[in-house]
Amino acid sequence: MNNVLISLEIMWKGMAGIFITILIIMLFVWLMGKFGSEK
Amino acid sequence: MSFLLDGLRALTWQQVVMYVVGIVLIWLAIKKDYEPSLLLPMGFGAILVNLPLSGVLDQTLQGGIQANGIIQWLFDIGINASEAMPILLFIGIGAMIDFGPLLSNPLMFLFGAGAQFGIFAAILLASVFGFSLSDAASIGIIGAADGPTSILVSQILHSKYIGAIAVAAYSYMALVPIVQPFAIKLVTTKKERRIHMDYNPSSVSKKMRIIFPVAVTIIVGFVAPQSVALVGFLMFGNLIRECGVLGTMSDTAQNTLSNLITLLLGITISFSMRADQFVTLDTLIIMLIGLFAFVMDTIGGVLLAKFMNLFLKKKINPMVGGAGISAFPMSSRVIQKMAMEEDPTNIILMHAAGANVSGQIASVIAGGMVINLVTQFLK
């Protein structure tokens, strides 16, 4: 039971971590696109 | 002359089962063309390591003489000591990937993240089945749909199921054309599968293509340090491809290096397919959880696309979300094929390819996240 609860915690933390990382990369790509189009 | 029968006398029924497994893997590779570069060496290796008193494994001969075996040595050096083989393979994978479709349509990044859901759903299911946390996490990473990541994570977490995990990961990657349509049809309507998407890519400059791999390495390095080996070598390979001054090295990474490592990785991983470890009920359960992981990956990506459609003016074909798994380019091709089955004029390949290469990045991030989180709980 303990491992199941830990797995649930790993699930939400892991998915949140992946989405945050991907959003940071998206922000970077967007900024690069904006920077590039201004030149 | 009884020594000629030593091998036969040492034969166990579990080893005979492994010969059948090995022959099935070779058959799948040759006859069905399922990931032949991996399944064929693994199948042949499964036979090699399960021959009684096999010389490819370390043996103590009569008279106490120690004889080293080549496959055991390859495993100890190439995987156990440093995870060198799966990591080096990422240079070749990185050199093969064109991030252009993703960079020109950054929204597709999100599907790479959404389609990692199967990893965590599978970890949960493995825990319910009673596997230890490190084994459950290693089994769950089959959902990364990425063989080298699965091998690396299960090795770092010291899972004893690395052989079954590798077989499951590569088998289901080969079965993406069967698994994904089934999962997508479970959660989409015919009308949704017919949604057309405009493709108006913004141009991607060479500077952007060069800065991207360096920036991703740094960003992921800060957020998920355990991913650095994976994402770093993936992006190193991509930088070699995009820099424009290392053409021959890029070719070598994409072809010679990838083929060499893949060939050795397949036969090396067969070390963990010894009968005493592989012929268990756990292996069967792992195969089922692996299938569950792939289905949940696809459903996760599709449901994310459907959720985004609630807010978007220009709707996304939810099947594109399912392409966010790491199995590139097979998944994007499967999605395009499904779209054309519903409507022969519907072209969503480039969107799916963008989501698919995002899955490559997200899966290595997920690998690092899993290692990071699980080791925190193992303290």
Per-residue pLDDT of B230-265, as tens digits, reads: 899 999 999 999 999 999 999 999 999 999 999 898
Mean pLDDT over B101-122 rounds to 94
Residue B316: CA atoms inside 13 Å, Cβ hemisphere, count? 28
- Residues of chain A positioned with their CB less than 8 A from the CB of B106: 26, 29-30, 33
Domain boundaries, chain A: 1-39
What pTM, to 2 d.p., does this model score?
0.88
pLDDT at residue number A37 = 59
Are the Cβ atoms of B124 and A36 closer than 8 angstroms?
A: no
A3-35 pLDDT tens trace? 999 999 999 999 999 999 999 999 999 888 877
How many C-alpha atoms does B212 have within 13 Å on its Cβ side?
A: 32
Give the domain extent around B114. Answer: 2-377
As a whole number of angstroms, the distance between CA B367 and CA B371 comes to: 6
Q: What's the total number of domains in chain B?
A: 1
Chain A residue closest in CA terms to B205: A36
Q: Report whether A2 contacts B133 (CB < 8 A).
A: no
* Residue B26 identity (one-letter amino acid): I
Judged by DSSP in three states, B35 sits in coil
Give yes or no for B373 touching A (CB within 8 A): yes
Mean pLDDT of B134-153: 92
Judge if ipTM > 0.90: yes
pLDDT by residue (tens digit) across B53-67? 888 999 888 788 888
> Which tokens in the block code for residue B263?
């060939």
What's the CA gap between B118 and B140, in Å, rounded?
Answer: 8
Chain B neighbours among A 9-28 (CB < 8 Å)? 9-11, 13-15, 17-22, 24-26, 28
